[in-house]
A and B are shown apart, each in its own frame.
Chain A
C-alpha cells in the first residue's frame, strides 16, 4: 500500500482527519523548505503538499503567485524540489509527500524521467492543476507504473457523471476545491461542502481532502467534521511572506498555525 493510503487508514482507525499543509518549495529561499516540512510534521501534519514553483500559476491567487515568484528568484526548479524531497526523506520515511503544480515543468522534463526521479526522491503523489483526467492517460499510466498516486481535483461545478469519471481515475485521495475561485479567495460554506462530499462518496471510497477557503483553526475544525483531509495553503504561505526578512522564524511560526489547527480538529 502507498504511504498515502497507509496514512489515511491509520487516521481512520484513530477517528481523526488528515491535516494537509501546502507550502511552495523554495519559498522564500531553498534552504528554508526541508526544515519547514519537518516542523510541520512535528506540529501535526499528516500529508504534505509541496508546491512546485511555476512562472504562470493560473489557478492561484496573489498569495501563492508571489510565493512562486520568490522561489523562482532563486531558480527553484522541479529537479531542485525533488532534491528537497530526497533530503526530507533522510529523516522522515513515513509522511507522504504530494507534489502540487502545473504541467509544463513536468512536460519539459519528460513524464518518464519525472516519474523515475520522483520515485527515487520519495514522492508519493502528484497533483497537476492543469491536467484533468481527459488529458492524462499516458501520465497516469506512467505514474501508476512507478507507484505514484495521481491526485485529481473535483470542483463545485463538477457534475455527477464527471464526478464518477474522475473518481475512476484518481488514487491516494481526491482534492475537493471548495469554492469557485483561485487559491486564497473566498471562505467556504461548510454545509455546501458536506452535501457535495456526500454526493462524491456515492462514487468512491478514496479519501476526500477539502481545500481552498480554509483560513483558521475554526474553519479547519468545521471541515474536518465532514472531510477525510483538510488542506491549508494560503494562510501558511501568507505567514511565510511576512517572515521573508526573518527566515529563522518561518518553521516555528508556520508550525504554530498547524498546531492550532491540529488541536482544534482533534478536540
Chain B
C-alpha cells in the first residue's frame, strides 16, 4: 500500500457531491434528481437522529439476529495450513445474507418518507428476498425486478419472494441478468417517483446510495473489528470479501480503512478465467466509465457498450462495481483479485465438508481466495473472511453441476 495516502480523509469520503476521488457522483436523468436530493437530505438528517439509530439497532438485534458471530474456522485453517481463518457469519442473519442489514435501513427511510411502495433489483435473489421481507413487515407494496436468466437459476428465492407477498418481474431485456434488472428498476422509479422508494441492493448507483448502503452495512466491519480484538487480542492482518456491487465488502472494509496494517482483498468473479473475457471482474479487467448513476470501473467495449458478464454466481454477475471500491483500488488501500467459477465451487465443497458450513456461491469466491492467501501467510496471522450468505439458494446450481436433477 502506498504510504502517502491520508487514510483519515479516505475514510471520510464521499464528498458532498457523492464523489470518491473521480468516482461516484450522480449520473441520472433529470427526472430523478429531485428524488435523489430529497433522499440525501432525509438520510443525512435521520442518520444523525438518535431515534432512527435506536430503531435501526433494535431491528438489527432482534429481527436480523445481530451481532453475527465471528467464527474461528480451525478445521479449515488446519486443512489449508497457514494463517488463522475467521469467518464473519453473515450467513446466519435472518433471510440468510448480509443484504438484510441494508434493507432494514432503507425500509426505515421509506417509512419515514411515507412512501407506500418499494421496488428493488436483484441478482441472486437475496436482496429481493430481504426487500420483500422488510416490505411484508412494514406493510409496503413491493415489486422486485430480476433478470430472466436469474429467475431461472435462483428459482427458490423467486418463490420465497412470492410467498412474502412481493411481485417478481422477470426482465427480458439486454443480457437478462442483474444489470438489466437495475435498468428496469430505474425506469420504474422514474415513472413512479412520487410514491415509490427504490431500495438499491448494493453500494452502487447514484449518490447517496453508495454512501447509505455502506453506512448500513458497516455494522459488519464494526462488529468484526471488535470481535477480533476480543477473541484474538488484536486486529486481523487481512480482510477478504467477495465483490459483486461491493456492499458486503465495503461493509467489512470501511471500519478498518484507517488501520493501515490491515490488508483488504476484494474478490471478483473470475468466471471461466479473467483471460477468457468471460467473467464479471471490472476492477481486475475493466476501465472507468459511467453506468447506473455513477462513475466507476466497468466492463465495456472500446465503443463504450456494456459487455455481457459471466459468473456461476448470480449475485456477482454484474459489469460494474460500487464507486468506493474503484477509489480504494486506485489509492492502493484495497487490492482486487478474482476467483474463478471452479475455484469458488471447490471452496464451496471444502467449507461444506470441513466446517459443516454451506456458503453462498458468492461468498465461496471469498473463501476460495482466503484459502490461497492463508497458505502464503504465517500461522500466527489472521484472516477475516466475510461469509456474506448461506448456500441454500444455490443447491440447485450445485446439483446441476453434479449432473443431478432435484
Q: Does B300 lie within 8 Å of A177, measured CB to CB?
A: no
**CA of A76 to CA of B151 in the docked complex: distance in angstroms?**
31
Chain A residues with CB under 8 Å of B292's CB are 56, 58
Chain A residues with CB under 8 Å of B33's CB are 132, 155, 157-158, 162
Contact with B along A51-81 (1 / 0, CB 8 A): 0011111111110010000001001011100
Candidates B26, B29, B183, B302; contact of A56 at CB < 8 Å: B183
In chain B, positions 133-185 with a C-beta closer than 8 Å to chain A are 173-174, 179-180, 183
CB distance from A49 to the nearest CB of B (A): 15
Q: Does A58 lie within 8 Å of B303, measured CB to CB?
A: no
Chain A residues with CB under 8 Å of B30's CB are 132, 152-155, 157-158, 166, 177
Let me know if B352 is at the binding interface, CB within 8 A: no
Q: Does A103 lie within 8 Å of B31, measured CB to CB?
A: no
In the complex, identify which listed stretch (A105-113, A117-125, A213-221, A259-267) lies at the interface while the others stay far away. A105-113
**CA of A79 to CA of B192 in the docked complex: distance in angstroms?**
35
Candidates A58, A109, A166; contact of B186 at CB < 8 Å: A58
Q: Does A78 lie within 8 Å of B31, measured CB to CB?
A: no
Chain B residues with CB under 8 Å of A53's CB are 305
Let me know if A180 is at the binding interface, CB within 8 A: yes
Q: Does A56 lie within 8 Å of B304, measured CB to CB?
A: no
Q: Does B304 lie within 8 Å of A108, measured CB to CB?
A: yes
Determine the residue in chain A with the shortest Cβ distance to B305.
A55
Interface SS majority for chain B: mixed
Determine the residue in chain B with the shortest Cβ distance to A175.
B30
Candidates B26, B31, B303; contact of A134 at CB < 8 Å: B26
Chain A residues with CB under 8 Å of B27's CB are 103, 130-132, 135
Let me know if B35 is at the binding interface, CB within 8 A: yes
Question: Which of A's residues lie within 8 Å of B, judged by CB?
Answer: 53-62, 65, 72, 75, 77-79, 102-109, 129-132, 134-135, 152-159, 162, 166, 177, 180-182, 185
- Give 26 CB contacts A-B under 8 Å: A53-B305, A54-B304, A54-B305, A55-B306, A56-B180, A56-B291, A57-B183, A58-B183, A58-B187, A61-B187, A62-B173, A65-B173, A72-B305, A104-B298, A104-B305, A105-B305, A107-B289, A130-B27, A130-B28, A132-B26, A154-B30, A155-B33, A157-B31, A166-B30, A180-B31, A180-B190
Question: Which of B's residues lie within 8 Å of A, judged by CB?
Answer: 17, 25-35, 173-174, 179-180, 183, 186-187, 190-194, 287-293, 295, 298, 300, 302-306
